[in-house]
A = this chain, B = another copy of it.
Amino acid sequence: MSRFLFCALLGACALARADTPGKAPTMADVIAASKPSDWHALDPQNTLYLELASGRVVMEMAPAFAPRHVANIKTLAHEKYFDGLAILRSQDNYVVQWGDPDSDDAAKKRSVGSAQEKLKAEFTIPASKELPFTLLPDRDGYAPQTGFSADFPAARDPKARTTWLTHCYGSIGVGRDVDVDSGGGTELYVVIGASPRWLDRNITVVGRVVQGMELLSTLPRGTGALGFYEKPEQHVPIESIRLAADVPEKERTSLEVLRTDTPTFAALVESRRNRHDEWYKVPAGYIDVCSVPIPVRAIGAK
């Protein structure tokens, strides 16, 4: 087997040659050299657990970008709205989506309890000094500027003074109808394919999956239009969605995420713009915002 290909692709080989004098660091070198302060622990008040029969999907919410929707989704989770609903759609190279299978039937539809059914859209927010933005050095096609904010991939329009979360692999968004204010968080989708950046600024993004993506990305694809499952028995049951803070501490998944506003992260970006292990012959000299990994690890891992 071409093992060099395999390890070189991830930069994992690089561990073997970390600290070689004069060599530019790989991503593995950068992570190995990171300090505890380079990471942020997931906040239990902003972390949701999607529990499936196959395991737990950990989702980090982005209240700075979608305060109304995140608060509403937390209320829905707290009141157990999602428990027993299902993943209804799995479209190859696009999204999985969950919600209430009976949402079109007024008689059977589940009540949203004290949450809201619909909210005013949060497609973009005003750019502000209170929300730092770490610029990527490279030009993007879909937005005037891209980078990272609150440790999420993001974009910015300096003229319009707006900023927003970009649609990358693992991004979580809020389904809506044609009316921009018709979503509320009862239906959520997760990107499982190539970055659908054309959705940016057209839909509210509320966070990203930080662990368990493979439980969503490997679901059988629906054979109906747009990847809908055609038969109710194909629906993938949601055991529950819980706010981490509502879960006993010992049952939580303790993770930390690499901060994106540090010299360490800048070094990681550079290690991906130009790969320095011996496998690569032509460094790209470029990286797009969705191709920069934002590493996640168990707290205490080294």
User: What residues of chain A have their CB less than 8 Å away from a CB belonging to chain B?
Assistant: 1-10, 12, 88-89, 92-95, 97, 99-100, 103-104, 123, 138-142, 168-170, 175-178, 180, 182-183, 187, 193-203, 213-214, 217-221, 225-226, 228, 272, 275, 278-282, 284, 286-288, 290-291
The 8 Å CB contact of A198, one of B141, B169, B220, B272, is B272
Residues of B within 8 A of A100 (CB): 1
B218 touches A89 (CB 8 A): no
Residues of B within 8 A of A282 (CB): 123, 200-202
What are 25 A-B residue pairs whose CB atoms fall within 8 Å in the complex? A1-B99, A1-B103, A1-B187, A2-B182, A3-B177, A5-B175, A6-B226, A7-B226, A9-B199, A9-B226, A10-B225, A92-B213, A92-B214, A93-B169, A123-B282, A169-B193, A178-B279, A197-B288, A197-B291, A198-B275, A198-B280, A198-B287, A202-B280, A202-B282, A218-B221
Given contacts A9-B199, A200-B282, 13 further A-B contacts (CB under 8 A): A1-B99, A1-B104, A1-B187, A6-B89, A7-B225, A92-B213, A92-B214, A142-B284, A142-B286, A168-B194, A169-B194, A178-B279, A194-B195
Residues of B within 8 A of A220 (CB): 214, 218
B194 touches A290 (CB 8 A): yes
B193 touches A5 (CB 8 A): no
Report the minimum CB–CB distance from A243 to chain B (whole Å). 23
A12 to B272, CA, bound (A): 37
